[in-house]
Structure 1
Amino acid sequence: MNYVDISVELFIGFILLFLMTKILGKTSINQVTPFEFISALVLGELVGNAIYDEDIGFGYILFAVFVWGLLMYIAEMLEIKFLKLRGFLEGNPSIVIQNGIIDRNELRKNKMSINQLQTLLRQKDTFSVHEVEYALLEANGTLSVLKKSLYSTTTQQDLDMHPRPTFLSVTFIIDGEVLLDNLKASGFDETWLQNELVKINIKRVEDIFYAEWQQDEGLYVIPMVQSTAK
């Protein structure tokens, strides 16, 4: 294989990977899920092998990238259409700190030590577990932290106010589908949810893009249209 062939195949591989990135969507590196990370590695390996193997021509590069890109595209479309499959492929967040208490079982399930948890907390400018009310380990490995009201950043709205309890918001509806487990865990049922939606003139769950509930704020709803309701 001469330098011209290598240059041409590198150029083709670069263009194909660039096109696959555009087609499959924009995801920043710190938002990549384990499934997407493995897919990217395999795609890069396919192109790399095709470029440096003298017995493999341009047709192999085109075919390999097309098939793998098609599989990734189909997987992403299925994730968008089927909520349960989305959780299976992307994973679900885990509550590792709840009501200020570290959940050792969740840490064990996610193969995480206390030291690793402390490291992630420090990256969120939290240097004591005592400051945390809730901490969620996201599917991409990052940590989302909700501090206790006593340690949260003060805003103008907080001035002249006594410390108040901190509550974690719970997602009830995504893409027109009710998350029954979350609803029941919060002590509600579908009848209650339907009654709450009727109060804001929404008759069908299918008309809701996203809905969450927080104990001190109530139900927050975003319809399929761009306007919001509460």
Structure 2
Amino acid sequence: MDFWTGTEDLPIYGFLIRALIVYVYIFCVIKILGQRSMVSFHPIDFIFAVIIGDVVGEPLSSGEIPLGGPLAAASLIAGIHLGLTYLGLKSPWIRRVVEAEPIIIVNKGQILVEQLRKSKLTVEALMMDLRLNQVSDLTEVDYAILEPNGQISVIKKSKYDSLTPDDMNITPVEKGYPSVLILDGKVNKTNLEKVGHTMQWLEIQVKQRGFETIDQVFLFTVDERSGKIFVNGRSKVMDN
């Protein structure tokens, strides 16, 4: 049990066992907390990730530190984080304390200087974020909002919006979810049955696109609504 209690001359296999335990532990914590913590990455999520990484990471570099204490501390921190997240969902007041409110940086085409300073955002950084949102001219911006996760979302003035098929009175073909039927030469029979096709149909489609066998296909997808097919072979791409 030296890998758990710690010892000055912890053998290599002890570190390996510790690494496995910590990995499984972190995996379980992420599953319990949900995907929001990893995807949205609000400031409180960042703090949680840094603390957890520091607490459970130290026993992996020092064999003298017992493993039980850091895991217990990490569990408490994860519990607090989960509790704050749950309370934030139930109470608007707690949500305002835990999570930052969106900050309007540009309002009706006018840059709000005070809000810019409040958010510690330079004009150069604002311009960069606008360019990342496909906006190169400030005159096109109606609103720019600094979101709680640190990203800037942009709402363009209506006259600068891209035309949509609805604006042009066009009814486009509905897009569906592309199901993978072949991946790396292997047929996904579950997806094949779900889209209502057979192996015979699949083999015909493959041969019509210049492949002799399914093994030559790296990726084959079909849109569940439109029926559009995409085929990527080992050396060429074909779609229709």
Q: TM-score range by the shorter chain?
A: 0.5 to 0.7
The reply on whether 1:122 has 2:122 as its aligned counterpart is no
Match of 2:47 among 19, 24, 38: 38
Could you list the runs of 5+ residues in structure 2 that have no partner in the other structure? Answer: 1-9, 170-240
Pairs within 5 Å for 1:1-230: 1-27=10-36, 29=38, 31-159=40-168
> Following TM superposition, by how much is the alpha carbon of 1:50 offset from its aligned partner in structure 2, in angstroms?
2.2
Between stretches 48-57 and 98-107, larger displacement belongs to 48-57
Could you list the runs of 5+ residues in structure 1 that have no partner in the other structure? Answer: 161-230
Instruction: Return the alpha-carbon distance in structure 1 between the equivalents of residues 65 and 91 of structure 2.
Output: 38
Instruction: Return the alpha-carbon distance in structure 2 between the equivalents of residues 28 and 135 of structure 1.
Output: 24
TM-score by length of 2: 0.63
Indicate if the aligned counterparts of 1:13 and 1:61 stay in contact, CA closer than 8 A: no
Secondary structure class of the residue paired with 1:158: coil
> Which portions of structure 1, spanning 4 or more consecutive aligned residues, are displaced by more than 6 angstroms?
none
Instruction: Return the alpha-carbon distance in structure 2 between the equivalents of residues 89 and 111 of structure 1.
Output: 19
Indicate if the aligned counterparts of 1:16 and 1:65 stay in contact, CA closer than 8 A: no
Q: Which has the larger radius of gyration?
A: 2
TM-score by length of 1: 0.66
In the comparison of the two structures, how many residue pairs are matched? 160
Between stretches 111-120 and 20-29, larger displacement belongs to 20-29
Q: Deviations over 1:154-212 (max 9, x none)?
A: 1133248xxxxxxxxxxxxxxxxxxxxxxxxxxxxxxxxxxxxxxxxxxxxxxxxxxxx
Indicate if the aligned counterparts of 1:13 and 1:47 stay in contact, CA closer than 8 A: yes
Instruction: Return the alpha-carbon distance in structure 2 between the equivalents of residues 30 and 123 of structure 1.
Output: 19
Indicate if the aligned counterparts of 2:88 and 2:95 stay in contact, CA closer than 8 A: yes
> Following TM superposition, by how much is the alpha carbon of 1:147 offset from its aligned partner in structure 2, in angstroms?
0.3
